[in-house]
Structure 1
Amino acid sequence: MTTTAPTGRRERRKRETRDRILTAAVDLIVERGYEATTYDLIAEHADLGRQTVFNHFPRKDDLVCAWVQDRRDRLDTLTAEKTAADGPPLRRLRAVFEAMADFDDRERAVARELYAAGVLVRGFLPGAPPPPALGALLALARDAGELDADLDPVPAAEILFDTYIGTLQRWLESDGAFPLARALNAKAALVVRGFAASAAPEGP
């Protein structure tokens, strides 16, 4: 009992400092670019010592990885919320992609800069694991008779998520030149149409 509260406070302060550093870094990356964002600038912007920034993020790439992981966590939560909503599963799937597009639109500036700098790699490449709720939603659609009864939701979710990742990369490369939500839903509809086919493919 004597150590739980102090330990909890220390962990909370550590998390708050980490978030403060990350927020400062993201602000500077959007304003100045990734290459021009230095540890000195981050420390000044966060109103912290330079060593404190190093203690939390020993390498500059660690800042990118932390931003990507935080983003993945929020994306997983968002997908789970949409999956748990009411309505037919495939209608909810459309809502998931629309929400993901809105999420990306709000963070386009920092994602575009990190992508252009060649450091936006972890969690945003084909082969990255899809949000767990995406497979659950496809399983619901299968069980509701909206998709083929033999559909395996695990590879199906991976295909859909790889479609999302590829479309997101093209969107970032074009600097948002096309409506992301419309493109995502159009491609998802094509993929889902294949998932709903009654005939299995013949051979590889």
Structure 2
Amino acid sequence: MDELAPPRLLSQRAKANRDRIYTAAIELIRERGYDEVTMTDIAKGAGVARASVFNHFPAKLAVLGEWFERFTRQVLREAGQQTGNSAWARLVFVLEAMGRGAHANKDIIIHVASLAMGHGPLAATEAELDDELQLFFADIIRHGQREGEIDPGLDVDFLADMWVGLLTVTAHDWVNRGQVSDLSSDLKSRFQTLFRGIEK
């Protein structure tokens, strides 16, 4: 069985149940740490039968996968509302939101980062989210080209891929260095260095 299989279409009641289980799991992981939380703990925290937890999340890993998806997509939804701003301002919004979210969820990020590396069990989830980030960054770049902020001769897809790679590498570096620096500042500093090189 695929531990990260996407959820099937759910009734309103089943969706509410899944959300309750997810919320309980994330709260417990934040309190105790990922390794200390069991599926039984999650069931008790959510007030449901243990079988119900496994029905929605076949493994604890699936909870991390869903957190990763929800976190990234929430940032992109909020950033998508910044359409009137400059390309740089829109980019900074994404970087600051990613940094704040990572700092607020340090223990979760450690596990997500390690499980997403290489051929880890969250690598496919990271690849899917990277595709969404690539499309989002490409939209920002096109906006910047139209507004004269970014050289219109640059290949949008290549540049967006570079931005995704820079985001990923910076986040993994931050985890590997012990999460002691400010990730938002790290991201903005690195992206600004790259952005200066592509300004029109």
TM-score of the two chains, using structure 2 as the length reference: 0.80
1:129 maps to 131
- Cα 1:37–1:59 shift into 2, 3 Å: same
Task: Give the unaligned 5+ runs of structure 2.
Answer: 1-9, 117-121
Correspondence for 2:38? 38
* Map of 1:4 onto structure 2: none
State the 1:166 CA deviation.
Answer: 1.1
Is the CA contact 1:101–1:181 (under 8 Å) kept in the aligned structure 2?
Answer: yes
Larger Rg: 1
DSSP 3-state at the match of 2:36: coil
What is the aligned partner in structure 2 of residue 164 from structure 1?
A: 167
Superposition deviation, residue 99 in structure 1: 2.5
Paired residues of 2:76 and 2:136 also in contact (CA < 8 A): yes
The 3-state SS of whatever aligns with 2:81 is helix
Q: Does 1:47 align with 2:62?
A: no
1:194 paired with 2:192, answer: no
Distance 1:81 1:105, change over 3 A: farther
Q: Deviations over 1:36-77 (max 9, x none)?
A: 221111101111000111111123322222222222221221
Structure 1 residues 14 and 137: CA distance shift in structure 2, 3 A: same
- Cα distance in 2, alignment partners of residues 178 and 126 from structure 1: 27
Percent of paired sites with the same residue = 24
Q: Distance in 1 between matches of 2:172 and 2:128?
A: 10
**Across the two proteins, how many residue pairs are aligned to each other?**
184
Matches within 5 A, 1:1-204: 11-82=11-82, 84=83, 86-115=84-113, 118-120=114-116, 121-122=122-123, 123-124=125-126, 128-131=130-133, 132-196=135-199
1:6 alignment counterpart:
none
What is the distance in 2 between the residues matched to 1:89 and 1:56? 39
Contact 1:64–1:119 (8 Å) recurs in 2: no
Query: Are the counterparts in 2 of residues 79 and 96 from structure 1 also a CA contact under 8 Å?
Result: yes
Aligned-residue offset at 1:127: 8.9
Q: Distance in 1 between matches of 2:139 and 2:193?
A: 20
